[in-house]
């Protein structure tokens, strides 16, 4: 397996570090760099460009960055065994950062290849320990994607649930890293704060029960993560006895972005208080939706429509 460093990354990170050290009073890297770089300006453009690529790659290695990237990748034998190439490139913004998997494709020799792509902002290299924590976390995402038991088949995740899916997946990854004795990108208390903020509509005991069952050393499949991101009922089943249960099992909780039980359109404004649903409104809704009960709630738009119909507006 080959680890390939994009020239834009090695150039940006090298010049960033030389400038940083120069500002701190360490002029040695600056002088060494310009001693090698200045003659290149007198070369033919093609020769000059190739020369600067080699120079930046050399400094990137001397500064310890190449070894830092290689060390993180080598921690994952699954990637070394399955991937033909790991490409590390520059990310312009934090939104572009992360690791992803290019599905197997046939190369010119008729062999199937799998490529891993990693995008990093230059600032990540200001602290090698922080960089390694981030790489370790992102490469764990890749090992999940490579694992047939994870079950990922290129599913398209709707925008409204993408954040919840990633929250749950990252939680699972850092739980596994911490259990394995590796430093996670975010620790358990930090993940709890994120989970607590996302699922604040659950009772505290329910949130705690769900979180503790998710923070475990065993991997969670893509199918399970997707189901929990889409369905509050799936998450509530994890809470066990701490869940909000009624006669029919866990009581549904409508999370922001969930589909309305009536119109099925995603909504961020739901009505779940029985005091707002009198018998006339409830009867009118049940004429159209016989299986609906007030416990299931409805979106604000549907409430407005039925309130107008029944003269309750």
CB count within 10 Å of CB 181 equals 6
- SS3 for 219-254 is CCCHHHHHHHHHCHHHHHHHHHHHCCEECCEECCCC
Between 46-55, 98-107, 202-211, the lowest mean confidence (pLDDT) is in 98-107
Helix (H, G, I), strand (E, B) or coil at 183: coil
Average pLDDT over residues 27-52: 93
* pLDDT tens, residue by residue, 262-291: 998 877 777 766 566 788 889 999 999 998
pLDDT in the model for residue 240: 60
pLDDT in the model for residue 273: 61
Q: Is the pLDDT of residue 247 over 70?
A: no
* pLDDT tens, residue by residue, 80-130: 998 999 999 999 999 899 999 876 655 555 555 789 999 999 999 999 999
* pLDDT tens, residue by residue, 132-176: 999 999 999 999 999 988 988 776 666 668 889 999 999 999 999
pLDDT in the model for residue 187: 95
Q: Is the pLDDT of residue 242 over 70?
A: no
- For residues 241 and 194, what is the distance between their CA atoms, to the nearest angstrom? 23
pLDDT in the model for residue 244: 46
Contact 237, 199 (CB under 8 A): no
Helix (H, G, I), strand (E, B) or coil at 81: helix
- For residues 287 and 235, what is the distance between their CA atoms, to the nearest angstrom? 31
| Predicted TM-score of the model (pTM) | 0.72
> 240: left (phi > 0), else alpha (psi -120 to 50), else beta?
left
């Amino acid at each position: 397996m080959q680890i390939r460093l994009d020239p834009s990354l090695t150039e940006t990170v090298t010049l960033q570090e030389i400038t940083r050290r120069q500002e701190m009073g360490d002029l040695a890297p600056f002088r060494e760099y310009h001693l090698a770089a200045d003659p290149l300006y007198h070369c033919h453009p093609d020769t000059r460009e190739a020369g600067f690529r080699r120079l930046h790659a050399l400094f990137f290695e001397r500064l310890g960055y190449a070894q830092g990237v290689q060390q993180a990748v080598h921690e994952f034998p699954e990637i070394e065994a399955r991937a033909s190439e790991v490409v590390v490139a520059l990310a312009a913004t934090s939104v572009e950062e992360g690791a992803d998997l290019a599905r197997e494709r046939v190369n010119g020799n008729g062999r199937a290849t799998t490529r891993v792509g990693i995008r990093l902002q230059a600032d990540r290299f200001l602290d090698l320990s922080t960089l390694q924590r981030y790489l370790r976390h992102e490469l764990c995402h890749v090992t999940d994607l490579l694992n047939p038991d994870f079950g990922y088949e290129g599913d398209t995740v709707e925008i409204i649930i993408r954040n919840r899916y990633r929250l749950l997946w990252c939680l699972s990854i850092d739980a596994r890293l911490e259990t394995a004795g590796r430093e996670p990108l975010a620790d358990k208390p930090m993940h709890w704060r994120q989970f607590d903020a996302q699922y604040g509509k659950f009772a505290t005991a329910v949130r705690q029960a769900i979180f503790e069952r998710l923070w475990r050393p065993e991997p969670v499949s893509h199918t399970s993560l997707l189901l929990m991101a889409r369905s509050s009922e799936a998450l509530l089943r994890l809470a066990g006895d701490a869940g909000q249960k009624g006669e029919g099992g866990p009581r549904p909780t409508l999370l922001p972005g969930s589909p309305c039980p009536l119109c099925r359109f995603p909504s961020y404004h739901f009505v779940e208080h029985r005091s707002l649903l009198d018998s006339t409104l409830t009867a009118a809704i049940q004429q159209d939706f016989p299986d609906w009960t007030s416990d299931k709630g409805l979106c604000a738009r549907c409430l407005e429509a039925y309130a107008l119909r029944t003269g309750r507006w």
